[in-house]
A and B are shown apart, each in its own frame.
Chain A
């Protein structure tokens, strides 16, 4: 089907009375960003909906972009035709034929806004419905629970016909629900946690811990690339705080508490993240923890690790299975980068048998004996290197060499 327009429906934020105006403006901005490469497409705002008039721009490419706009509940490709019975009937057939999967049941819902149109809505329901039924012998009408609802809206300027409903990302527009600090490791989980947080309207800054020379430059590149990918969804530049963890990690390793080292590391990381959050006014910390996935993500571990900070710890993946996390990572395009085989500072120090149930008192005692731990944490916060990663920025590989070589 050659769509003429796209009808966009908002997500859950339409329920929120007071912030609604602000939300709608953000959505409109974001949709306009998607349309930037398609100058002929126009967007108009009506009550509770947006319409894109394509003017020949490709539906498929725009739809791809819209699927990732937070706040869009669903959208539909729409055909616009003259308000004439025969044409409406023919285009209705085309719309039905263009469905990705042939439905077994359907119903027609006609809205006649233009009252000068000769047939009223019930009559039109019948005229369009019987025309479609003749063309699809296996199709049946089901008024109560149709698989597909063929919508025909007869407006003064023409008739709109659509049936396909494409699910959007849902959620809230980016940055309409406060700000949090994301711990971004470079693995599969944390970018997904970041994506889901942003989808709920959280504004994010990311923190990454590196321990050069134990970790490589590539590990750093990888995290920048993941942030770049996430910024594609935020639509605005994201801050990435690179924290040097080498000194603290070396001190923790020197305690000879191998089973506890991940617990100790995670606690120090949270304290640094909290410090950075305070500096930038973030009110929470987002992690990619998923219950029971690794030793540091058991309830016992999370209890001991989490107590080191007063900020709310947000764990979007906590009850998700790994397969579902991977599926989202693939959808949002972070998976391929995440699985690149570069060590991050946690994988490098994984002990043979990490504890799954650390003792808070013991952990606190060990920390008390580490010389200069508080100072090192303060230094790590003070010496953070902050990179701003913009959505349109080039990946490091795209930036390789000199432009005039390519």
Chain B
């Protein structure tokens, strides 16, 4: 089997597994305990936090270990909104966020917050001018993902960050679960206040998330308990998994540049292959680094819009008129593991919320397939995939529901 579902989860490094089991075996003491063993556990946590701080060019104390991306996103959004509701009860996010952001915002809505869900263009990009015009005196938080997990559109985080720098009262949260290790992340330069990452997306263990909380940003904890993680995230720390996660982040971020180059090559190849099959429609932009310019309202005066780019490891396409589950099962018969929508919501039958937000037809939005690469993929795997895709399409062609092809 060739596992093309790295956006859902990744195979952990052997090194990571070894670290996890060795630390589990030796350092089972509770980091809050006073004795020597407790202190050793505590220092392992400190060293892990120090490493994470260093990797992101931030202070160690600005990082909170959580149980995963979902918890980090919830803590960032709900925690920041509730804490700063005296300043305003308006939150800006996009229509294409991961459910852990989207539903956290829905929850805030039920608590009386006003949420603006920014639209995206047909390629899946939020526009800077939309962010700007959505801002009000009441806005306390803007949450935009770095890389969309379904189509791979890279959002203009740097530009939004510099827009928000002038507005001191608005916190900026970025869900970076899909970007860490694939793209450069410069939290301080970009003016990011809160940032989410997840270990199991970078070949680390399940059950560890990171939340960057810039020094000075106040959050309300979601859970009550023993005051761990600076009171933000009570519960006995998962020391072994955290150490292993720190290692996974180190490896992932160390190889980021090289990985970006390599995967862009793989992506271009797959995009070309999809383009040659008339039944398939690519979702998002074709080229990984397309220089398409955003039609900003004020773009002309600034001499151009913002570069629109796609992440190197995600390709999303639709087979309108074909149930995506059937497509995925047929691919599996040919040793290819792929995904429909995001794994978290792939079991329900509705069209993809993200593809719909991009303005795609119902048929296209209901038939999306996602291929996402990892480090183990090279020319051989891509060759196989590019041979199988037309084959699978030709096998499925008789089952096409013609009326639904737009």
Interface residues of A (CB under 8 A from B): 216-218, 396-402, 404-406
Contacts and interface: CB of A to CB of B under 8 A. Distances in A.
B39 A218 contact: yes
A217 to B, nearest CB: 6
Nearest to A400: B43
B7 interface: no
B34 A216 contact: yes
A202 B44 CA distance: 36
Contacts of A397: 43, 46-47, 50
B67 to A, nearest CB: 21
A216 B36 CA distance: 9
Interface stretch (B86-94, B219-227, B242-250, B319-327): B242-250
Given A217-B36, A406-B250, 8 more contacts: A217-B39, A396-B43, A400-B44, A400-B46, A401-B47, A405-B19, A405-B244, A406-B247
Given A216-B34, A217-B36, A406-B48, A401 B43 contact: yes
A396 B42 CA distance: 11
A401 B34 CA distance: 18
A85 B120 CA distance: 52
A399 B19 CA distance: 16
B156 to A, nearest CB: 27
Nearest to A397: B46
Contacts of A400: 40, 43-44, 46-47
Which one of A218, A399, A400, A402 has the greatest number of beta carbons of chain B within 10 Å? Answer: A400
Contacts of A406: 19, 47-48, 51, 243, 246-247, 250
Nearest to B51: A406
Given A397-B50, A398-B50, A405 B247 contact: yes
Interface string B41-81: 00110111011000000000000000000000000000000
A256 B43 CA distance: 39
Contacts of B44: 400-401, 405
Nearest to A218: B39
Bin the interface of chain B by size: 20 to 34
A252 B43 CA distance: 35
The 6 closest A-B pairs by CB, nearest first: A400-B43, A397-B46, A400-B47, A405-B19, A397-B43, A400-B44
Interface string B12-38: 000000010011000100000010100
A402 B43 CA distance: 11
A218 B47 CA distance: 15
Nearest to B59: A336
Given A406-B51, A406-B243, A406-B247, A401 B46 contact: no
Contacts of B34: 216
B330 to A, nearest CB: 43
A401 B23 contact: yes
Contacts of B246: 406
Contacts of A402: 22
A17 B65 CA distance: 57
A152 B23 CA distance: 61
Contacts of A396: 43
A183 B36 CA distance: 26
A401 B243 contact: yes
Nearest to A401: B44
B249 to A, nearest CB: 10
Contacts of B250: 406
A217 B40 CA distance: 11
A399 B39 CA distance: 13
Nearest to A396: B43
Contacts of B244: 405
Given A217-B36, A398-B50, A405 B43 contact: no
A196 to B, nearest CB: 26
A397 B31 CA distance: 13
Contacts of B43: 396-397, 399-401
B22 to A, nearest CB: 7
B34 to A, nearest CB: 7
Contacts of A404: 19
Contact of B23 (A216, A218, A398, A405): A405
A399 B244 CA distance: 16
Contacts of A218: 39
A400 B51 CA distance: 12
16 contacts: A217-B39, A397-B46, A398-B47, A398-B50, A400-B40, A400-B46, A401-B23, A401-B43, A402-B22, A404-B19, A405-B23, A405-B44, A406-B19, A406-B47, A406-B48, A406-B247
A216 B34 CA distance: 9
Interface in B221-272: 243-244, 246-247, 250
B152 to A, nearest CB: 30
Contacts of B50: 397-398
A398 B53 CA distance: 12
Contacts of B39: 217-218
A398 B51 CA distance: 9
Given A398-B50, A400-B44, A400-B46, A405 B36 contact: no
Nearest to A405: B19
Contacts of B22: 402, 405
A333 to B, nearest CB: 12
B339 to A, nearest CB: 32
A327 B274 CA distance: 62
A405 B36 CA distance: 20
A131 B249 CA distance: 52
A303 B36 CA distance: 40
A339 to B, nearest CB: 13
A404 B247 CA distance: 9
A210 to B, nearest CB: 15
Contact of B27 (A216, A217, A401): A401
B307 to A, nearest CB: 25
Contacts of B51: 406
B9 to A, nearest CB: 22
Contacts of B247: 405-406
Interface string B352-374: 00000000000000000000000
Contacts of B48: 406
Contact of B243 (A217, A398, A405): A405
A406 B22 CA distance: 12
Contacts of A399: 43, 47
A58 to B, nearest CB: 13
A397 B51 CA distance: 11
A399 B50 CA distance: 11
Which one of A217, A218, A399, A401 has the greatest number of beta carbons of chain B within 10 Å? Answer: A401
Contacts of A216: 34
A396 B84 CA distance: 37
A198 to B, nearest CB: 25
